[in-house]
Structure 1
Amino acid sequence: MNYFTPDFIEFFKELAPNNHKEWFDQNRARYEKVVKEPFKAFVGDLALHLTRHKPLLELDPKNLIFRINRDIRFSKDKRPYKTFVSAIISPGGKKDKTMPGMYFEFGPEGILVYGGVFMVNKEQLEDIRYYIANNMDAFKNIISEKQFVSTFGSIKGEVNVRLPKELQEIAEEEPLIYNKQFYFYTALPSQLLISNDVIEELEKCFLIMKPLNDFFEVAMGY
């Protein structure tokens, strides 16, 4: 099924140099027609489609899709709107951003697809580190799997300088234990948005990242 038309991409190309409320208000009906409603339909269908692989996913698009409005309260960049739409597919949806899931952005430059964990609290980070340390072979097998590496490359994230003493020695074997975040991503071409293959391609990403997301879920006690 083709969810998006070329005007989806064109809308964001025009928004980029006109990122202010007056232009957006003038184009709000167009935004609703070619961006918001198609993306809502796509996200709902994708979530339902992926339940065949993970049954307990949040299915309501309103709990999965992020606002197009930027949070400019503490930012020097006062442009009010994002130049992409975004959503997360996970059991907790956007209400639980600590839970591993598949986050994606659709914009004129292309599609970005992320997995792993990004916003974890101190206790969750500790749980992940110790779980990696106690399940080193399983962790290494997942992150070195051929499809994972060819699709997502390596795990990224900010790094701590110090670790508890009991983790320091094993972190020499696996430096990722120093990470404060454990995320990974891939980029797909924008032309995929106006093809019939977009759900299929995101399903492939979901399946490739699933073993590592599941690993983190267990580590965090979900």
Structure 2
Amino acid sequence: MSGEPHFTHALFDFFGELDLNNDREWFKDQRERYLRDVRDPIVKFITDFAPRLSGISFSFTADPRLIGGSMFRIHRDVRFSKDKSPYKTNAGIQFRHERAGDAHAPGFYLHLKPGDSGAAAGIWKPGRDELAKVRGAIAISPSRWRDATSREEFKHRWDVAGESLVRAPRGFDPEHPAIDEIKRKDFIAWASFTDDEICSPDFLDEYTDACYSVSPMVEYLTRTIGLDF
């Protein structure tokens, strides 16, 4: 369903300039621009995506609240970083599982950054227990994971991504036929979008279709760690 785009190139222009002027004084001067071109369009996108997400699963949330909602804060946590730049140079939106409260929960994600935007889905850096459950499930029945990540609608848009161990994790046979999957530290998929695609009036439809096509993988992971889908 076409209409006015949720995002415009003004969003990417803002982040491009922020990358060159990452300080509080510049951001203070550009705050109204940030609200108009970045924050408010993201809030509207989250609101409009909510009923579509319910069509995929009632267990995931699209929360438009400014604090504690689906939109990540633009402020960086610099406490343990040598880079003290105060702001992120991208926008992040996560539609996470209702029973989990952080970025490591199963979910769908949207990343907005000039020239490097995309969607992600799955579990990023799962906790020890969740990681053990997924690895164990793949070891017992590799076909279920492969079925979820080898469908044509999945391969048309998505690639399985994330970090992996160099060696087989402890307790797993290095010769297991699915050892490359078992070695994964993340169980995520990534789909790239161009700036023009993000700014298209059809992007909400495109993102919805992408989430539908990756949902079998998300369902597999969600149920494997003991959550409802």
Letter in 1 for 2:128: K
Report deviation, 1:172.
3.5
Q: Of 83, 97, 120, which aligns to 1:114?
A: 120
Structure 1 position 187, deviation (Å): 1.0
Tell me what 1:15 maps to: 18
The counterpart of 1:24, out of the listed 22, 27, 30, is: 27
Q: Which residue of 1 aligns with 2:43?
A: 40
Which residue of structure 2 aligns with residue 152 of structure 1? Answer: 158
**TM-score of the pair, normalised by structure 2:** 0.88
Offset at residue 144 of structure 1 (A): 2.0
Distance of 1:135 and 1:186 partners within structure 2:
26
Determine the C-alpha separation between the residues in 1 that align with 2:104 and 2:88. 22
Note if contact 2:7-2:198 (Cα within 8 Å) is conserved in structure 1. yes
Measured at CA, do residues 98 and 107 of structure 1 come closer, stay the same or move farther in structure 2, by a change above 3 Å? closer
After superposition, the C-alpha distances for 1:102-143 in whole angstroms (9 at most, x for unaligned) are 111112224211111113111111111111122222212222
Partner deviation per Cα, 1:40-94 (whole Å, 9 max, x = no partner): 1111211232211212322322321100111111112221111111111122388
Where does 1:176-195 land on structure 2 (aligned, <5 Å)?
176-195=181-200
Q: Which amino acid aligns with 2:54?
A: T
* Aligned partners of 2:122 and 2:218 also within 8 Å: yes
Within 5 Å, give how 1:29-108 maps onto structure 2. Answer: 29-62=32-65, 63-92=69-98, 95-108=101-114
Q: Which whole-Å CA distance do the structure 2 matches of 1:117 and 1:66 have between them?
A: 17
**Contact 1:72-1:78 within 8 A present in 2 as well:** yes
**Which AA in structure 2 matches 1:55?**
F
The 10-residue stretch of structure 1 (19-28 or 172-181) with the greater mean CA deviation from structure 2: 172-181
Shift of 1:35: 1.0
Asked if the contact 1:171–1:178 (Cα under 8 Å) also holds between the matched residues in 2, the reply is: no
The reply to whether residue 199 of structure 1 matches residue 189 of structure 2 is no
CA RMSD of aligned residues (A): 2.0
Report runs of 4+ in structure 1 exceeding 4 Å deviation: none
User: Does 2:130 align with 1:124?
Assistant: yes
Residues matched between the structures, number: 221
Asked if structure 1 preserves the Cα contact closer than 8 Å seen for 2:53 and 2:61, the reply is no
Where does structure 2 lack aligned partners over 5 or more consecutive residues? Answer: none
- The residue type paired with residue 113 of structure 1 is A
